[in-house]
Chains A and B, each alone.
Chain A
Amino acid sequence: GPKVLQIPSHQIIDMGQMVTLNCDPVSNHLYFYWYKQILGQQMEFLVNFYNGKVMEKSKLFKDQFSVERPDGSYFTLKIQPTALEDSAVYFCASSLDDTQYFGPGTRLLVL
Chain B
Amino acid sequence: GDQVEQSPSALSLHEGTGSALRCNFTTTMRAVQWFRKNSRGSLINLFYLASGTKENGRLKSAFDSKERYSTLHIRDAQLEDSGTYFCAAWNSNNRIFFGDGTQLVVKP
Contacts and interface: CB of A to CB of B under 8 A. Distances in A.
Interface of A: 31, 33, 35, 40-45, 48, 55-56, 89, 91, 93, 95, 98-100, 102, 104-105
Contact of B45 (A40, A43, A56): A43
Given A102-B96, A105-B96, A48 B42 contact: yes
Interface in B30-51: 33, 38, 40-45, 47-48, 50
Most buried by B among A31, A43, A44: A43
B66 interface: no
- Main SS of chain B's interface residues? strand
B21 interface: no
For chain B, the bracket of interface size reads: 10 to 19
Interface in B92-108: 94-96, 98, 101
B41 A95 contact: yes
Interface of B: 33, 38, 40-45, 47-48, 50, 84, 88, 94-96, 98, 101
Most buried by A among B43, B44, B48, B95: B43
Given A31-B41, A48-B40, A56-B40, A41 B98 contact: no
Given A43-B43, A45-B43, A98-B84, 9 more contacts: A40-B50, A42-B47, A43-B88, A55-B40, A56-B38, A91-B96, A98-B41, A102-B96, A105-B94
